[in-house]
Amino acid sequence: MVDYRMRLIFVFVLLIGLWPAPSVAQSIQTVLVAKQEATLASTMGGQIIQFDFYNGDHFSEGNVLVGFDCRIVEAQYASTAARLEAARATLKARKKLKELKSVSNLDYAIAVSEAKQAAAETSERKVQKELCKIKAPYDGRITRRDTNLHETVEPGQPLLKIASLDKLQAQLLVPSNWLSWVKTGTPLKITIDENDKTYPAHIVRIGGEVDPVSQSIALVAEFDKREDDTLPGMSGTAHFNASEQAPTKDKHE
């Protein structure tokens, strides 16, 4: 979704009659966003006993971001696992007796049922045990922490916000008549206000519809390479050259 601030800028410029005509050089305001971001919520109720990452810290895929006190869950899992082992041993014994016709079909069916029930309960406890740790879904950085170590939280309570370390993307809102020359792959340069640096980028996605009121359309650009001195939320200016067309892709790619 295009940042609300960009839509306000678009309307303001349009109203005062300063919106640039589609000539050679074009500039437009933009905001940087992470390619992937998520707010991670508590998977269970309980006390946080592991919370090693702070705002701005980087993490790797699979790292434990949040860990809960799960001694009760672990004990319940151990109990159901032991019950499953016993049920399987009983079933194995009754299967042999059944082959020898020394046990009734009913007793054998009961053993089968008990083994299935124990397996289901063990699977459930295993899932609960896995929820005791929230692991990173990808390489990224912490962008916000909403709670702290040793706090007790409720299921569904927001804990932290994360963003991926992929190449950042830029959201743009441009006049719809720019579609006559802006295509997927069209190159541009983005100057960031916060550090006054300019980076090469290209269009990766064009919005699915034109706003009928403002006659604008959303675009998404991506930096050509990962830039470590940029952060989601930074703003700047995207510079286009209307004479530069999107590169033609090799049909054999």
**Alpha-carbon dihedral angle through residues 22, 24, 26, 32, given to the nearest 10 degrees:** 110
What span, in angstroms and rounded, lies between the C-alpha atoms of 151 and 162?
20
Domain membership flag for residue 251: no
Overall domain count for the chain: 3
Within-domain flag for 250: no
- Cα 169–chain centre separation: 14
Residues 140 and 117 grouped into a single domain: no
CATH number at residue 148: 2.40.50.100
Distance (Å, whole) CA 164 – CA 232: 10
132-157 residue pLDDT tens: 999 999 999 999 999 999 999 999 99
The Cα 15–Cα 49 span in angstroms is 55
Are residues 86 and 179 part of one domain? no
Same domain, 186 and 231: yes
List, in order, residues 6 or more apart from 114 with CB less than 8 Å away.
Answer: 87, 90, 91
Do residue 58 and residue 91 come from a single domain? Answer: no
Report how far apart, in Å, the C-alpha atoms of 21 and of each of 17, 102, 183, 239 are. 10, 92, 18, 14
pTM of the model: 0.73
Say which residues have a Cβ less than 8 Å from residue 124's Cβ, sequence separation at least 6.
80
Same domain as 92, residue 148 = no
pLDDT value at position 17? 41
* pLDDT tens track, the chain, 253 positions: 445 555 544 444 444 344 444 455 688 999 999 999 999 999 999 999 999 999 999 999 999 999 999 999 999 999 999 999 999 999 999 999 988 888 899 999 999 999 999 999 999 999 999 999 999 999 999 999 999 999 999 999 999 999 999 999 999 999 999 999 999 999 999 999 999 999 999 999 999 999 999 999 999 999 999 888 999 999 999 999 866 554 444 434 3
Could you tell me if 107 and 221 lie in one domain? no
CATH number for the domain that contains residue 226: 2.40.30.170
Distance CA 142, CA 239 (A): 30
Dig out the tokens for 112 from the structure.
Answer: 């089968």
Q: Which domain holds residue 206?
A: 4-35+166-241
pLDDT at position 51: 96
Q: Distance between terminal CA atoms of the chain?
A: 30
Q: What is the CATH number for 75?
A: 1.10.287.470
> Angle, nearest 10°, between helix axes 105-130 and 71-99?
160
Query: What confidence tens digit (pLDDT) does each residue in 48-82 have?
Result: 999 999 999 999 999 999 999 999 999 999 999 99
- Contact 184/246 with Cβ under 8 angstroms? yes
Share of the chain above pLDDT 70, in %: 85
List the Cα angle 215/217/221 in 5-degree steps: 155
Shared-domain flag, residues 60 and 160 = yes
